[in-house]
Chains A and B, each alone.
Chain A
Amino acid sequence: MSPRSDAPILVRLDDVTMHYGRGRDAIQAIDTVSLDIRKGEFIAVVGPSGCGKSSLMKLISGLHPASSGFVTVEDRPVKGPLKSVGMAFQASNLLPWRTVVDNVLLPLEIVQPHRSKIRRERAAYKAKAEALLAQVGLAGFTDKFPWQLSGGMQQRTSICRALVHEPDILMLDEPFGALDAFTREELWCALRDIQQARGVTVMLVTHDLREAVFLADTVYVMSNRPGKIVKAQPIDLPRPRDLDVTYTQPFQDLVHELRSHIGGKH
């Protein structure tokens, strides 16, 4: 199994169901999902459009409550937004009036204990954010404004913003969906390296099976709405993985295997 199979469990979903809305108009988004995410594990959730992948994210981050079942993070039930979560989405959602480094500093202005310290220790925090940006290859761009960056660079910034407060879990909702194929592969490697370096737990929601297999330790396949987990596929490819691995037979077999669990016409 994956090299992290002996790490403690960080997130546990136990028979979780989730609805949007109430009463008869309620739409069921997630149906009896159970899964564990270990500390430092990289999981990917794949599935058809609208299958509840993003809902799963909202559930774990505490942005939306479960209608039944239990969600626990570090053995504590999730009751509201977790501060130990960093999120990034398909759109980079950077603030256009802030420079790149100030955008990355935004979470620190909100999360304690940084919030009360950042005024006094801004220089130190800034240095930390700049180091993080350098790690994803944005060393010379920290004082630029978001619109001066390419789409890939904006997305790197967005990921740095999600990581700067050192969250336990990094949640990525199709973060590379709007990028071209080459930039996407570049960012896979950037994400792989930064996850390796920081040992952060990652939950990646994606449409792209190659992306999921390349990056994750475990890939979960969800069915059409209401989302149910139809397959949990451990990815045993050795790490560190190189882009070349995507052209090997074992990789192709895994992608093929996952594809067979996703509905739709062939």
Chain B
Amino acid sequence: MRLKDAGITVVAPVLFTVLLFALWEAGCKLFAVAPTVLPAPSAIWAAYLQFQKPIIENSLYTLWNTLIGFAIATVFGLLLGIAVGWHKAVYAAIYPVLIGFNSVPKVAVVPVLILWFGVGAVPAIITAFLISFFPIVVNVATGLATTEPELEDVLRALGASKTDILWNVGLPRTMPYLFASLKIAITLAFVGTVLSETVAANRGIGNVMMIASGNFDVPLVFAGLFILAILGVGLYAIFSLIELKVTGWAQRKTEFAMV
């Protein structure tokens, strides 16, 4: 049974990915697609090998900025989420502005940020932060707002303060919501950093891709896209693992089951 499960969770995705790339490669060869339109995976791999050093350097730079922006978003999102979930008045006051803010396309904000902070890491970090904090706020607030009223009564009748309830019940039960949002937020943070880098930057993988596309070096552009996809999957996996450790109780009957 165990072996069969492992077969499904490991073999199936690997098989699917390999098949996808094989089809892609075959399609490009068969229909003689120009590499400036859609490069074959082999050409992308060649471009990666050719520019390995700058790609890795710039990717790490992008990764670093993304993580800083994401860390700020997590702290800020958690605090704002607690505030919004804490009291109806805060919720009523903040929510319209929050939704309005989230509706603004972040592409439109990047030029303003560059105007304020100049070309460099700061606009990228801020864009990553701006684009990724919203789901965290919403999920944390939802987790807190859906605390069972009877459970609150049980604790209030014991003389528990609002902080006691938050600490003993609110926050623990919000953890699954928080982690669900972190997985979304980390991929969004990448979008933010790269977005800012493609508008104006002199380093970062987004910048590399802009230069490459200016030179019609489409395989290199795709190599950059792949790096981003791999980083995204990697971070997503890391957060899934932490999630399992911290909120295993919410995923009962699968990995957490005792027997």
Report A's interface with B, CB cutoff 8 A: 58, 61-63, 81-83, 85-89, 91, 93, 95-97, 106-107, 109-111, 144-145, 147-148, 161-162, 165, 171, 173
B142-175 interface bits toward A, Cβ cutoff 8 Å, 1 = contact, 0 = none: 0000001011011111111000100011001101
A180 CB to nearest B CB, Å: 21
A145 near B249 with CB under 8 A, answer yes
Residues of B within 8 A of A148 (CB): 258
Cβ-defined contact, B159 with A111, below 8 A: yes
Known: A109-B168, A145-B252. A93 touches B154 (CB 8 A): yes
The yes or no answer to B109 lying at the interface (CB within 8 A) is: no
Is B250 in the interface zone, CB < 8 Å from A? yes
Does the CB pair B159–A96 fall under 8 Å? no
Q: Interface code B5-25, partner A: CB below 8 Å = 1, 0 otherwise?
A: 000000000000000000000
Task: Name the CB-closest residue of A to B247.
Answer: A97
A110 partner, pick from B158, B173, B258, beta carbons under 8 A: B158
Beyond known contacts A63-B153, A87-B154, A88-B154: 14 more, CB 8 A cutoff: A61-B153, A81-B157, A83-B158, A83-B159, A87-B157, A89-B154, A97-B250, A107-B158, A110-B155, A145-B249, A147-B252, A148-B258, A161-B154, A173-B150
CB distance from B128 to the nearest CB of A (A): 31
Partner of B156 from the list A63, A161, A162 (CB cut-off 8 Å) is A63
Chain A residues within 8 Å of B151, by CB: 93
Asked if residues B173 and A95 are in contact (CB atoms below 8 Å), the reply is: yes
Q: Is the CB of B157 within 8 A of A106?
A: no
| Chain B proximity of A133: nearest CB distance (Å) | 17
Q: In the bound complex, what is the Cα–Cα distance between A162 and B177 (angstroms)?
A: 28
Q: How far, in angstroms, from A2 to B250 measured CA to CA in the complex?
A: 48
Chain B positions within 8 Å of A62 at CB level: 157
From A58, A63, A110, A147, residue with most partner B Cβ within 10 Å: A110
CB distance from B184 to the nearest CB of A (A): 22
- Per CB-CB distance, the 8 closest pairs between chain A and chain B, nearest first, are A97-B249, A93-B151, A83-B159, A89-B150, A110-B160, A61-B157, A85-B157, A110-B158
Minimum C-beta distance from B146 to chain A (A): 13
Chain A residues, CB < 8 A from B150: 89, 91, 93, 173
Is the beta-carbon distance between B250 and A96 smaller than 8 angstroms?
Answer: yes
Query: Which residues of the other chain, A, contact B159 by a CB distance below 8 angstroms?
Result: 81-83, 110-111
Residue of A nearest to B256 (CB): A145
A99 to chain B, nearest CB (A): 10
Pair B157/A63 contact, Cβ less than 8 Å: yes
Question: Could you say which residues of chain B place their CB within 8 Å of the CB of A173?
Answer: 150
- B164's nearest neighbour on chain A, judged by CB, is A110
- B231-259 contacts to A, CB under 8 A, are 247, 249-250, 252, 258
